[in-house]
Amino acid sequence: PTNRTFTMIKPDAVADGFSGPIIQQIEAAGFKIIAIKKVHLSKEEAGKFYAIHAERPFYQSLCDYMSSGAIIPMVLEKDNAVEDFRKLIGSTNPEQAAEGTIRKQFARSLESNAIHGSDSDENAAIEAAFFFSEKELA
């Protein structure tokens, strides 16, 4: 079925000037951009987005990192979007990511890993609604 996923180009990749090449690869892989914006989260907003990780040892550092600069959230559409997008971006740790994946090419480290991809249809909808209005997602 045609469906959607949510992604963000993270502060390291935006600062490194990789937004263009990353978006180009996303479109070349068959994803259609439904919504896109540039935003700089506060630490509190980053903490809210990653609330599911609140008990993890890396949570504070993750919130500092995700509020350290601009990010580019997007909603993408494609058949089998969630699963296919996670294949396109590769493993969380860029050192373990497959050749040709976005994280392998553009990420700096396990934390500064260039891009986010939702892990389920349900989370994709929740994460999209964090950044975009209903009207923006129509």
Smallest gap, in angstroms, from Cβ of residue 19 to ligand CMP?
17
Helix (H) or strand (E) holding 1: none
Residue 108 labeled ligand binder: no
Identified catalytic residue from 4, 14, 116, 127:
116
| Residue with smaller CB distance to ligand CMP, 1 or 57 | 57
Roughly what angle, to the nearest 10 degrees, separates helices 81-89 and 121-131? 80
Smallest gap, in angstroms, from Cβ of residue 32 to ligand CMP?
21
Name residue 3's beta-bridge partners.
78
Task: Tell me which residue of 93, 83, 132, 84 sits closest to 114, measured CA to CA.
Answer: 93
Q: How far apart are CA 138 and CA 119, in angstroms?
A: 22
Residue 85 labeled ligand binder: no
Tokens standing for residue 120: 């389920």
| Binding residues for ligand CMP (CB under 6 A) | 53, 58, 62, 92, 110-111, 113, 116
Residue 58 labeled ligand binder: yes
53 is catalytic: no
What are the residue numbers of the active site? 116
> Which residues are known binding-site members?
10, 58, 86, 92, 103, 113
